């Protein structure tokens, strides 16, 4: 078919040919435009199960669409089924690719399967995915510009097959479709009218291949490579840059010695292969021998007037030795130290600092001191976005509901906030560094307290109490004032989760129905906690630690999504939990 097939279509980002029709993204996730290429007739088809939004990985109806939100669906056909791919998933924004696969027959579109392509160390996941195609065996994810990567995964379950750099610097290809009749792939030029045909079985016959990132390591040993006609470069990562460390033709025996690379300077490396155009040249496989380093990370930090809690996670491939965790002021004064026992890969533990914290108000930070070499020093510390409470504690509540507020909580626009100091003196408040008066007109009793009302937006509230002896104490809190439903401070307590189960907790800005979904790292949902209605404020849902069928979950890391839904709004917060052995 050639020429103009319809008078007009809705601007979209993707289209595909299937079962004799051309299907085009219409900007709605529960329908597509359909063109009959023989007659040019244009109509729409309903997608009852919905399509994944290209950027968010969510199925969003027109009713749930946020003001100004633009929705698009990325689709392609392998001749048998239609694939819908998003650059995001239930794991998070641009953390894994969400995939839905549909059968199409006379009765309409039917969801056959869905899965998540897991993220990898190459970093492709965290960039934009601009194009796709599928050939029945593999699904291909295309990055436009950047590193010009094409990633091949299984079309059945998303498992990794291969990744390489495309010829996009010449062709500017962004997406296309597999032609099952001729067993060819057609890809189009984003910036012109060029159309390029590829043999499906070729792969990259020559050119530059970049391996996934390896590490972090505490010591490098060697890399074993199989292939011919290949020049290899070992590149080490330092401060975000890739530095060439070793460049040589593939040696006899295919072994490159890495013992001369200092893992303290280069904890991660990648292998770059330049493949010759000669007959028989190619890279067939490679294996790295190294000692993996642990990688402890400071995660979420929760603050209360007499408590600081920090999540410590081992992001490495090996168990992390016991470590120390310090609570310090921003100026470096040590306040307290806690010890952390050995953590398995992916394991999370919660460190509590609940000693009285005395002295003048000052910002704090949490800092890990690893027991051995650490894979990434940049994630060893994090600031506590709050002031140190002194003997004069400050309390923040909604008023008149008296729901306690914590740093980072969201409150609905118009909600009054009660600021209260335990002690006597003069109370001063600044909002975003500007003095703000407190309203005491409607309080039922006097004291060092008052009501504050904030406009929509993110606000830093600093409170100071000046005693009769001219001693000043203070604290601070950051609040998000929203017009919409919002979930904040989503936590699992305890984490890791033991046989007794856990509580999912959070804070919602307005009354809503609360539910929790728990997923394996592959994206399979293992448990849904049934929705329960909750008023605005602190919410909690209990979990017995078991899967949907009542079985015991295997030890390891899982993902959770806390969802709040009102009549016309939805908000979600995601996190990671660990099931203890």
Whether the CB-CB separation of 578 and 346 falls below 8 Å is answered with yes
Residue in 567, 304, 536 with CA at minimum distance from that of residue 411: 536
Give the C-alpha distances (Å, rounded to integers) separating 186 from 10, 21, 182, 196: 23, 17, 11, 6
Query: What pLDDT sits at residue 39?
Result: 84
| Class of the CATH domain delimited by 296-385 | mainly beta
Whether the CB-CB separation of 368 and 316 falls below 8 Å is answered with no
Query: What pLDDT sits at residue 391?
Result: 36
Give the C-alpha distances (Å, rounded to integers) separating 395 from 304, 401, 404, 418, 508: 9, 14, 8, 8, 19
- Least confident range from 202-211, 220-229, 319-328, 375-384: namely 202-211
How much is the average pLDDT of 174-193?
84
User: Which of 3.40.50.9100, 1.10.3720.10, 2.60.40.10, 1.10.150.120 would CATH assign to domain 394-482?
Assistant: 2.60.40.10
Query: What pLDDT sits at residue 419?
Result: 86
Q: How confident is the model at residue 10 (pLDDT cuts 50, 70, 90)?
A: confident
Task: Say how far apart CA 281 and CA 265 lie, in whole Å.
Answer: 34
Q: How confident is the model at residue 100 (pLDDT cuts 50, 70, 90)?
A: very high
Is the pLDDT confidence value at 165 over 90?
no
**Contacting residues for 122 by C-beta, under 8 A, at least 6 apart:** 149, 163, 210, 212, 213
564-579 confidence digits (pLDDT tens): 988 778 888 888 888 8
Query: What pLDDT sits at residue 515?
Result: 92
129 CA to centre of own chain: 15
Virtual torsion, Cα 148, 152, 156, 159, nearest 10 deg:
-100
Is the pLDDT confidence value at 254 over 80?
no
Whether the CB-CB separation of 350 and 304 falls below 8 Å is answered with no
Of the two residues 126 and 392, the one the predictor is more confident about is 126
How much is the average pLDDT of 101-107?
91
Query: What pLDDT sits at residue 84?
Result: 95
Residue 39 DSSP label: T
Residue 68 DSSP label: T
- Least confident range from 161-165, 354-358, 397-401, 451-455: namely 354-358
Residue 343 DSSP label: B
The mean pLDDT of the chain is 80
Query: What pLDDT sits at residue 227?
Result: 75
Give the C-alpha distances (Å, rounded to integers) separating 388 from 237, 305, 306: 37, 8, 9
Query: What pLDDT sits at residue 293?
Result: 77
Is the pLDDT confidence value at 203 over 50?
no
How much is the average pLDDT of 234-253?
77
Query: What pLDDT sits at residue 362?
Result: 58
Task: Say how far apart CA 377 and CA 238 lie, in whole Å.
Answer: 12
For 487-579, CATH gives 2.60.40.4070
At 334, is the secondary structure helix, strand, or coil? strand
Q: Is the peptide bond before 496 cis (omega within 30 degrees of 0)?
A: yes
Query: What pLDDT sits at residue 268?
Result: 84
Q: How confident is the model at residue 75 (pLDDT cuts 50, 70, 90)?
A: very high
Virtual torsion, Cα 286, 150, 275, 195, nearest 10 deg:
160
Query: What pLDDT sits at residue 318?
Result: 73
Of the two residues 335 and 358, the one the predictor is more confident about is 335
Whether the CB-CB separation of 509 and 536 falls below 8 Å is answered with yes
Place of tokens 């729901």: 403
User: Which of 1.10.150, 2.110.10, 3.30.390, 3.30.70 would CATH assign to domain 15-204?
Assistant: 2.110.10
508-561 confidence digits (pLDDT tens): 888 889 999 998 877 788 999 988 888 887 888 899 999 988 888 888 888 899
Residue in 130, 149, 146, 137 with CA at minimum distance from that of residue 178: 137
pTM value is 0.40
Query: What pLDDT sits at residue 518?
Result: 92
Query: What pLDDT sits at residue 282?
Result: 67
Full strand arrangement of the beta sheet holding 149-154:
131-134, 138-142, 149-154, 160-165
Of the two residues 549 and 403, the one the predictor is more confident about is 549
Sign of CA dihedral 232, 269, 173, 183: positive
The CATH 2.60.40.4070 domain(s) of the chain lie at: 487-579
Q: Phi/psi at 125 (nearest 5 deg)?
A: -55, -35
How much is the average pLDDT of 240-253?
74
Task: Say how far apart CA 84 and CA 512 lie, in whole Å.
Answer: 30
Is the pLDDT confidence value at 461 over 80?
yes
Of the two residues 422 and 230, the one the predictor is more confident about is 230
**Contacting residues for 40 by C-beta, under 8 A, at least 6 apart:** 4, 5, 6, 7
The CATH 2.60.40.10 domain(s) of the chain lie at: 296-385, 394-482
- Least confident range from 85-99, 375-389, 472-486, 527-541: namely 375-389
279-332 confidence digits (pLDDT tens): 666 667 778 888 877 788 888 787 665 678 888 888 776 788 888 999 887 667
- Least confident range from 99-113, 136-150, 541-555: namely 136-150
- Report residue 512 as tokens: 């809503």
How much is the average pLDDT of 78-105?
88
Is the pLDDT confidence value at 370 over 50?
yes
Is the pLDDT confidence value at 112 over 60?
yes
Q: Give me the percent of the chain exceeding a pLDDT of 90.
A: 13
Is the pLDDT confidence value at 505 over 90?
no
Of the two residues 203 and 179, the one the predictor is more confident about is 179
Task: Say how far apart CA 465 and CA 393 lie, in whole Å.
Answer: 10
């Amino acid at each position: 078919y050639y020429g103009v097939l319809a008078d007009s279509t809705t601007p979209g980002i993707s289209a595909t040919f299937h079962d004799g029709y051309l299907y085009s993204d219409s900007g709605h996730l529960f329908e597509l435009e359909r063109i009959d290429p023989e007659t040019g007739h244009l109509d729409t088809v309903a997608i009852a199960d919905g399509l994944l939004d290209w950027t968010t990985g969510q199925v969003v109806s027109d009713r749930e669409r946020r003001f100004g939100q633009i929705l698009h669906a990325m689709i392609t056909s392998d001749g048998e089924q239609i694939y819908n791919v998003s650059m995001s998933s239930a794991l998070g924004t641009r953390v894994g690719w969400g995939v839905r696969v549909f059968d199409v027959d006379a009765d309409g579109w039917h969801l056959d399967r869905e899965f998540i392509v897991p993220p990898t160390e190459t970093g492709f996941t965290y960039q934009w995915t601009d194009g796709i195609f599928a050939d029945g065996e593999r699904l291909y994810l295309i990055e436009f510009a950047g590193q010009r990567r094409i990633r091949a995964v299984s079309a059945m379950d998303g498992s990794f097959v291969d990744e390489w750099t495309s010829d996009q610097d010449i062709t500017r290809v962004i997406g296309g479709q597999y032609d099952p009749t001729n067993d060819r792939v057609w890809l189009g030029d984003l910036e012109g009218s060029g159309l390029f045909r590829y043999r499906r079985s070729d792969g990259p016959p020559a050119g530059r291949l970049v391996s996934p990132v390896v590490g972090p390591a505490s010591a490098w040993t060697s890399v074993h490579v199989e292939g011919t006609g290949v020049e290899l470069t070992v590149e080490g990562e330092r401060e975000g840059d890739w530095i060439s460390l070793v460049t040589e033709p593939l040696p006899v025996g295919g072994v490159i010695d890495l013992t001369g690379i200092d893992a303290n300077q280069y904890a991660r490396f990648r292998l770059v292969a330049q493949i010759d155009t000669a007959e028989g040249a190619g890279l067939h496989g490679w294996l790295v021998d190294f000692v993996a380093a642990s990688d402890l990370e400071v995660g979420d930090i929760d603050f209360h007037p007499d408590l600081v809690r920090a999540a410590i996670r081992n992001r490495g491939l090996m168990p992390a030795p016991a470590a120390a965790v310090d609570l310090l002021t921003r100026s470096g004064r040590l306040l307290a130290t806690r010890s952390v026992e050995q953590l398995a890969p992916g394991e999370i533990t919660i460190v509590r600092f609940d000693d009285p914290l005395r002295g003048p108000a000052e910002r704090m930070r949490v800092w890990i001191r690893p027991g051995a070499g650490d894979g990434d020093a940049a994630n060893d510390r994090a600031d506590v976005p709050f002031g140190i409470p002194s003997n004069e504690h400050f309390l923040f509540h909604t008023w008149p509901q008296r729901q306690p507020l914590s740093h980072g909580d969201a409150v609905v626009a118009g909600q009054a906030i009660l600021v209260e100091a335990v002690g006597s003196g003069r109370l001063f408040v600044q909002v975003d560094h500007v003095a703000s008066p407190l309203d005491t007109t409607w309080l039922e009793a006097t004291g060092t307290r008052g009501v504050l009302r904030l406009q929509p937006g993110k606000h830093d509230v600093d409170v100071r109490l000046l005693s009769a002896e001219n001693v000043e104490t203070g604290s601070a809190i950051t609040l998000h004032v929203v017009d919409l439903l919002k979930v904040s401070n989503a936590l699992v307590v305890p984490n890791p989760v033991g046989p007794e189960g856990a509580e999912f907790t959070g804070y919602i800005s307005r009354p809503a129905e609360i539910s929790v979904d728990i997923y394996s790292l592959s994206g399979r949902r293992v448990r849904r906690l049934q929705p329960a209605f909750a008023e605005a404020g602190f919410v909690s849902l209990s979990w017995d630690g078991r899967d949907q069928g009542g079985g015991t979950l295997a030890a390891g890391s899982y993902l959770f999504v806390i969802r709040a839904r009102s009549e016309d709004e939805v908000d979600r917060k995601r996190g990671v939990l660990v099931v203890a052995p």
